[in-house]
Amino acid sequence: MGISGLLQFIKDAAEPINVKKYKGQTVAVDTYCWLHKGAFSCAEKLAKGEPTDQYVWYCMKFVDMLLTFSVKPILVFDGCNLPSKQEVEKARRERREANLQKGRQLLREGKLSEARDCFTRCVNITPTMAHNLIKAARARGVDCVVAPYEADAQLAYLTKSGLAQAVITEDSDLLAFGCKKVILKMDKQGNGLEVDQSNLGRCRSLGNIFTQEKFRYMCILSGCDYLPSLHGIGLGKACKLLRLAKDPDILKVIRKMGQYLKMDLVVPEQYVDGFIRANNTFLYQLVFDPVSRKVVPLNPYPANIDPTTLSYAGFNLGDDKGLQMALGNLDINTMEKIDNFSPDKPIPQPFKPRSYSWNNSRDPTGPSIWSGDFKPASAAWHSSASGPTSTRGKERVIILDGLKLPCREVQVKRPREGVSGLSKLKSSSQGQAAKVQTFGRARASGLRKTSVGSIKKASSPNNENNPGVQATISGLWKNFSFKK
């Protein structure tokens, strides 16, 4: 899942943040990432077919955390399998089935630890599991959207249309789809890494190819879910190719890949066709617009592309069925009706959830995306509201030659009339000496008074026969005589 090594490759564009940075704004969530992590905690029960809802409450802890920070979440779920990923999905199913059978065998042999490892690797999120989470989130008043196909494209559409200002995910594919801000590796306290597309220029590894188009080309050439890479081609070689090539026709560049990179590499025409399909899938995969309630492509079709030729990027099942799927009312595998939720009906008051002492807030921020009066916020407004605008690339050189800047005048103390500088210095020195002499006399006088008083006190009639006191008197007289 994702572009292998992409996050490390663009690490200079990532910075640690806390999700409370988006207070008062909306974030779209790649919910299957949370579901997979939550399913790991109960993988053995799921493999045995035992009932459990641990994965639901694992996800709801993240939802509660976002609501506590006054961040509005939109939970986005995967829909039908995309035709472009048939081979990838088939391989994943085979791996899950193999791990499931191996885990059951180890369990029969009494090897519990090894069996749990296999059950963890065979976790499969079913439509029923996703629907259980949808119902729990819906009861909190949290918006949910089931994508026609992949959640990645749906998440990208929500950010591009202004319905969300950032995406929370574990999948680096979102950057290739054109998401402006992606939050990765977020923990239960809201700490994570934010990759802002406007910061890709910081990455020295990218050089001068950080346009969105070339960035997408680099991701496809390095290997993605829609097209495996050619042997020996990763992010580094793909980036180098795009830096060296000056031809704007990317297909010609791909055919001459071996020549540019000085490699013994022959690019088959089948790979070129696969590149075209992968690029179109990133650009025109079908998504659902919750405002207009229609199935639309991620980006508008250009005039030179016939939508009927893009079946590998998804079949349009119609707006009515797309709406029911987006609401979570249909089983994505069988298309059978499993719920009758309608956003146009009054939503019942949220039930009181499990007690979380750290969480006192339950209300999502802002209106629902399904409400008729909902208006998407402009991306420009949110970028300016979240912080100061970037000054990168706006530097100007200012010449200061001949420029007179205002400065504070030096204040000179006026000398007293009739007194020369030498006289003032002499009088100052004499005054300091007089102060030292006066202090010395006062200190000596005080010591003498103290000593005489001590002797008189010790010489009282009550102490005449006390040998210790008489010795003290003798010592005081000696000390007094020495000080004099």
- Residue-wise pLDDT for 110-128, tens only, equals 777 777 777 777 678 888 9
Residue 169 lies in a domain: yes
Parallel/antiparallel/unpaired status of strands 181-184 and 286-289: unpaired
Spatial separation of the C-alpha atoms in residues 417 and 426, rounded to whole Å: 16
Residue 415 lies in a domain: no
What is the per-residue pLDDT for 51? 82
Residue 87 has pLDDT above 90, yes or no: no
Residue 239 has pLDDT above 70, yes or no: yes
Residue 395 lies in a domain: no
Report the number of distinct structural domains present in the chain: 1
What is the per-residue pLDDT for 249? 93
Residue 446 has pLDDT above 90, yes or no: no
Average pLDDT, integer, range 223-249: 91
- Residue-wise pLDDT for 375-400, tens only, equals 776 443 344 344 455 555 556 655 55
Structural domain including 25 reads: 6-204+286-294+312-327
**Token representation of residue 424:** 């003032």
**Token representation of residue 229:** 């890479």
Residue 35 has pLDDT above 80, yes or no: yes
**Token representation of residue 290:** 């919750």
- Measured between alpha carbons, how far apart are the two ends of the chain, in Å? 96
Tell me the β-bridge partners of 166.
Answer: 27
Structure letter (DSSP) for residue 70: T
What is the per-residue pLDDT for 36? 87
Spatial separation of the C-alpha atoms in residues 183 and 193, rounded to whole Å: 5
Structure letter (DSSP) for residue 356: -
Rounded to the nearest 10 degrees, how much is the dihedral formed by the CA atoms of 432, 436, 437, 441?
150
Residue 421 lies in a domain: no
Q: Whole-number mean pLDDT of the chain? A: 80
Range name among 56-60, 137-141, 248-252, 446-450 with the lowest pLDDT average: 446-450
What is the per-residue pLDDT for 201? 82
**Token representation of residue 421:** 């500088």
Average pLDDT, integer, range 184-213: 87
Nearest by Cα to 46 from 139, 147, 116:
116
Percent of the chain predicted with pLDDT > 70: 70
What is the per-residue pLDDT for 192? 96
Element (H, E) at 17: strand 14-18
Nearest by Cα to 220 from 264, 179, 277, 265:
277
CA distances (Å), origin 218, targets 118, 147, 151, 183, 241: 34, 26, 22, 21, 9
Residue 171 lies in a domain: yes
Tell me how crowded residue 146 is: count the other CB atoms within 10 A of its CB.
27
Average pLDDT, integer, range 88-108: 75
Helix %, strand %, coil % of the chain (to 5): 50, 10, 40
Residue 23 lies in a domain: yes
Spatial separation of the C-alpha atoms in residues 153 and 147, rounded to whole Å: 8
Average pLDDT, integer, range 224-228: 90
pLDDT top residue among 219 and 394: 219
What is the per-residue pLDDT for 438? 54
- Residue-wise pLDDT for 420-436, tens only, equals 554 554 555 555 555 55
Q: Band of the pLDDT at 19, cuts 50, 70, 90?
A: very high
Average pLDDT, integer, range 140-158: 96
Spatial separation of the C-alpha atoms in residues 178 and 156, rounded to whole Å: 7
Spatial separation of the C-alpha atoms in residues 290 and 356, rounded to whole Å: 32
pLDDT top residue among 47 and 358: 47
Report whether 85 contacts 226 (CB < 8 A).
Answer: yes
Integer-rounded Cα Rg, in Å, for the chain is: 39
**Token representation of residue 177:** 């789809």
Angle (deg, nearest 10), helices 112-121 and 86-108:
170
Spatial separation of the C-alpha atoms in residues 200 and 13, rounded to whole Å: 5
Ordered DSSP codes for 138-202: HHTT-EEEE-SS-HHHHHHHHHHTTS-SEEEES-THHHHTT-SEEEES--TTSEEEEEEGGGGGG
Residue 79 has pLDDT above 90, yes or no: yes
Parallel/antiparallel/unpaired status of strands 286-289 and 294-297: antiparallel
Residue 402 has pLDDT above 60, yes or no: no
Q: Band of the pLDDT at 18, cuts 50, 70, 90?
A: very high
Q: What CATH number is attached to the domain comprising 133?
A: 3.40.50.1010
Average pLDDT, integer, range 75-103: 80
What is the per-residue pLDDT for 357? 46
Spatial separation of the C-alpha atoms in residues 475 and 160, rounded to whole Å: 96
Buried b or exposed e, range 279-305, using 16+ CB within 10 angstroms: bbbbbbbbbbbbeebebbbbbeeeeee
Percent of the chain predicted with pLDDT > 90: 46
Residue 416 has pLDDT above 80, yes or no: no
Residue 253 lies in a domain: no
Structure letter (DSSP) for residue 22: G
Residue 148 lies in a domain: yes
Spatial separation of the C-alpha atoms in residues 59 and 75, rounded to whole Å: 10
What is the per-residue pLDDT for 380? 37
What is the per-residue pLDDT for 132? 94
What is the per-residue pLDDT for 454? 52
What is the per-residue pLDDT for 381? 38
271 class by beta-carbon count within 10 Å (0-12 exposed, 13-18 middle, 19+ buried): middle
Report whether 455 contacts 477 (CB < 8 A).
Answer: yes
Long-range contact set of residues 259-268: C-beta below 8 Å, sequence gap at least 24: 261/237, 263/232, 265/230, 265/231, 265/232, 265/233, 267/230
Residue 78, classed as helix, strand or coil, is coil
Report whether 341 contacts 127 (CB < 8 A).
Answer: no
Nearest by Cα to 258 from 244, 274, 277:
244
What is the per-residue pLDDT for 387? 47
What is the per-residue pLDDT for 384? 39
What is the per-residue pLDDT for 39? 83
Q: How far is CA 87 from the centre of its chain?
A: 32
What is the per-residue pLDDT for 151? 95
Range name among 217-221, 289-293, 348-352 with the lowest pLDDT average: 348-352
Q: Band of the pLDDT at 253, cuts 50, 70, 90?
A: very high
What is the per-residue pLDDT for 396? 60
Nearest by Cα to 38 from 5, 61, 68, 67:
61
**Token representation of residue 23:** 């207070």
What is the per-residue pLDDT for 291? 93
Average pLDDT, integer, range 339-363: 62
